[in-house]
Structure 1
Amino acid sequence: MEAVKNQATIKDLRLPLVATLYDYKANNIIFTPSPYLIDPDNATWLPRIFDLALVLLLFHNELDTAPDRIFTPTQWKLFLEGYKTYTTLTEFEKEVWDAVLQHIFLDEVMWLMAEYEEDWLNQNQYNLFRSLVEILFNSADYKI
């Protein structure tokens, strides 16, 4: 219920915006000869920590060879090290991170879980969904 209550507040936050694919996940990256993103059909302009939250929650979605869970805390810290090489997050972004994470869960993850019922029958996807629900209740190891 806290996440639902935060929706009105989230939409009014003045957060740094970025032009983004808003679909940064493993199955949209080509690794050879060097890494680049594909699938720009979701491209949009939005708060950059929305995009970062989506990476945390759905990076491993839809790729058969990906882990059947979100990043481990160690993997998340490693990802952030690389991310922060190119981006400096504001203190305000850090303060609202948990609320944004809940928002993206409601907006993207809940939709995914409801829209693709067949994914619940796929053991890898089912395990990913379980790890997504767990982070909603315990995100302490996934700060920015």
Structure 2
Amino acid sequence: MNQPDLEPGDEVLVSLVGLVAAGQFECSADRHKPGLLAWARWLRSVDDAELERETRAAIYDSASVNGFQGNWNHEHFKASACWHEARRRHIAAGHSEDCRARTIYGRAHSRLMRDHGYAPAAAGRCRCEVTDG
């Protein structure tokens, strides 16, 4: 059996996907772990449009399995990892740690809600001095 090259709780894993997703990774079935690691590494390399598409899919899948019995941590891992990556990019763009403006994850979540007939909550205000160019 191929073992992932990172161990649960590994600092590299936490840096890559965040604490929540790292915990979900640890609780995932072993058969999912190599694929989850490859996917998380890939996620770091995609552009913002692809991240938003992947985030919508991950949120949808996580929400869809939420009511089912069993271990679905591999699905929840993806949504949590997308949140972490969106937040990482938001801060890398110059936003503060406490900025409440909508991230790529927030845009994906809002679009998914609208696509299913719900009205998303308004985004928080950004008071960061970030320029777009």
- Could you state the TM-score of these two structures normalised by the residue count of structure 2? 0.29
Larger RCO (CA under 8 A, 6+ residues apart):
1
Counting strand residues as a fraction of each chain, which structure ranks higher?
A: 1
- Could you state the TM-score of these two structures normalised by the residue count of structure 1? 0.28
